[in-house]
Structure 1
Amino acid sequence: MKQLLLLLFILSTYVVSAQQDPRSPDRAEAHFSLHPNPVKDGFVYVESDHEGPKDIRIYDLFGKVVLEQRLISQKLFVSTLVPGVYMVQVRQEERIGTKKLVIR
């Protein structure tokens, strides 16, 4: 009987935790675009819905930060990155968004 109650407790805890949204409710998603994508010329334009500076982090496929920069304009230079697939995270005014970036 104790084992059955323990199993029910564990399963109910798992179901409740699986239904929770990992993002905090007060954090909105940043809507932005990257172009050109794939990148050929060593730079990409990062355009967003909001004006102001953007904090950019670019991650490789292993999750390592390979470029971190505060962007005032829309032009981001990525010529130091080797060709491949990256994830770009943009943080602006408490908003966060993530998109895939391909560099050729």
Structure 2
Amino acid sequence: MMKNYMYILFLIFGLGMGVPTTNAQTNASKTTLSPSDGISDLSIYPNPVSSGKIYITTKENLTKEIEIYDVLGKKILSESLSGKELNISKLTAGIYILKIKEGNNSATRKLVVR
């Protein structure tokens, strides 16, 4: 009986039918973003916010088109921002999606309002 187990183990491991290997880990580690895939050096603070103002800074510091959506996808706020300070005092406490477009680049971030 023990011989049968040994033959089965030999067949499983000897034929490569052990744990399947995938390239998912190697592919994930090779994923890089180029500057055209987003806004370089984007910083949004404070997040979570409770003061009614957030600050959005980027490397290029161009005029930004800002859109804020609620979790249901409804547009709550749309504004053009030339500085870095955005007034969000009209937002109630909750989780929002912040979409930022600067030049040809755009980025999406989660915003938490307390």
Does residue 99 of structure 1 match 2:109?
yes
- In the superposition, the TM-score normalised over structure 2's length comes to 0.65
Higher strand content, 1 or 2 = 1
| CA distance in 2: counterparts of 1:29 and 1:49, whole angstroms | 12
1:34–1:47 CA contact under 8 A, matched in 2: yes
Does residue 51 of structure 1 match 2:49?
no
Higher relative contact order at CA 8 Å, sep ≥6: structure 1 or structure 2? Answer: 1
| CA distance in 1: counterparts of 2:45 and 2:66, whole angstroms | 15
| CA distance in 2: counterparts of 1:57 and 1:29, whole angstroms | 16
Secondary structure of the 1:79 match is: coil
Q: CA deviation at 1:28?
A: 3.3
Amino acid at match of 1:29: G
Q: Aligned residue for 2:38? A: 29
Q: CA deviation at 1:50?
A: 1.3
**Deviating 4+ runs (over 2 angstroms):** none
1:28–1:94 CA contact under 8 A, matched in 2: no
For the aligned residue pairs, the C-alpha RMSD in angstroms reads 1.0
Quote the sequence identity (%): 33
User: Once the two structures are superposed, what CA deviation does each residue of 1:11-68 show, in whole Å capped at 9, x if it has no partner?
Assistant: xxxxxxxxxxxxxxxx531241110111111000011121210000001000111000
| CA distance in 2: counterparts of 1:35 and 1:51, whole angstroms | 15
Amino acid at match of 2:95: V
| CA distance in 2: counterparts of 1:34 and 1:51, whole angstroms | 13
- In the superposition, the TM-score normalised over structure 1's length comes to 0.71
| CA distance in 2: counterparts of 1:101 and 1:90, whole angstroms | 12
Secondary structure of the 2:111 match is: strand
Question: Which blocks of at least 5 consecutive residues in structure 2 are unaligned?
Answer: 1-35
Question: Which blocks of at least 5 consecutive residues in structure 1 are unaligned?
Answer: 1-26
1:4-83 equivalent positions in 2, closer than 5 A? 28-31=37-40, 32-83=42-93
